Amino acid sequence: MILIDYVISIVLAVRPKIKSYQLVIYKNMENSNRNPLILGHRGSPKSQIENTLESFQLAIEEGADGVELDVHLTRDGKLVVFHDDTYLQQGFIKNMDACDLPDFIPHLEEVLDLLGSKTVDIELKANPDSFGDFDEVYAHNLCQKLVEILEKPSDCSTLVTSFSIRTIDAFRSQLDKKAIRTGLLITPIDQGAVTGSQIGAELMEKIKRSGHSWILPHRALLTKDLVERSNEIGLDLGVWTVNDLDEARIFIGLNVAAIITDVPKFVVGLL
């Protein structure tokens, strides 16, 4: 049990366009016996190339409960694990065949085979572009392919997430396998704020009504009140991307359900 005897204030610089925020942990706040899931953000990217089989393997060897990764649908209908929408200067991944990409970019099935019974958080890369345009056809096809893969027998514990509520709703609507969990990722930019105060009960109720079970705010949005509200509504809460160990200790004390980190070895060591 973790007992915090004093008030801790942390000022975090989140991004150049986002102001700092202050997170206050109140005296005598206690942690339950539940430890959060520790998920390697794209594996263990401080030591291996992110989103590669080597990176995922290392995260598991370092004690992570699983990994977070990003998937795109290629022109020839393959789900590949890569973060950016484009590969170098060769164009959008959705306009390329899987064979046009280098061998170090794995197919999703390869990663699932590697992970065995570990947890995988699959982020669907189908968000509106910088002009606010949303590719409905691409999002539908991406979700359909992922459902096809995940409906097959697997030992993995699966969470599927997106920054786009339209995308994650589309995935949920196609899904028959109810054991697969879904959730919404939230950034400070999405909220136009620097605290979790604007992630209100209305949004969380909407997420819950849509059949999703997780909410995953950026670390700059995480507050004690937000964790309590998510618990009351019945949503698990995961936080990303947490690399500062003092901050990780605080989030463990807040009883979050998952911590996504670039340094799984060190965050696991706090438990």
Query: What domains sit in the chain, N to C, each tagged with a CATH number?
Result: 31-268 (3.20.20.190)
Q: Which residue bears the tokens 């150049």? A: 16
Q: How big is the chain by its Cα radius of gyration, in Å? A: 18
Phi, psi of 262, deg, nearest 5: -80, -10
Helix (H, G, I), strand (E, B) or coil at 63: coil
Phi, psi of 115, deg, nearest 5: -75, -25
Helix (H, G, I), strand (E, B) or coil at 266: helix
Query: What percentage of the chain has pLDDT greater than the value 90?
Result: 73
The pTM (predicted TM-score) of the whole model is 0.86
Phi, psi of 108, deg, nearest 5: -60, -40
Token pair listed for 144: 């359909």
Whole-number Å distance between alpha carbons of 183 and 102: 30
Higher-confidence residue of 29 and 58: namely 58
Higher-confidence residue of 103 and 90: namely 103
Instruction: Give residue 176's pLDDT band: very low, low, confident or very high (50, 70, 90).
Output: confident
Tens-place pLDDT, residues 197-248:
568 888 899 999 999 999 999 999 999 999 999 999 999 999 999 999 999 9
Helix (H, G, I), strand (E, B) or coil at 85: coil
Query: What pLDDT shows up at residue 154?
Result: 87
Whole-number Å distance between alpha carbons of 207 and 226: 14
Query: What pLDDT shows up at residue 197?
Result: 56
Instruction: Give residue 134's pLDDT band: very low, low, confident or very high (50, 70, 90).
Output: confident
Does residue 164 have a pLDDT over 80? Answer: yes
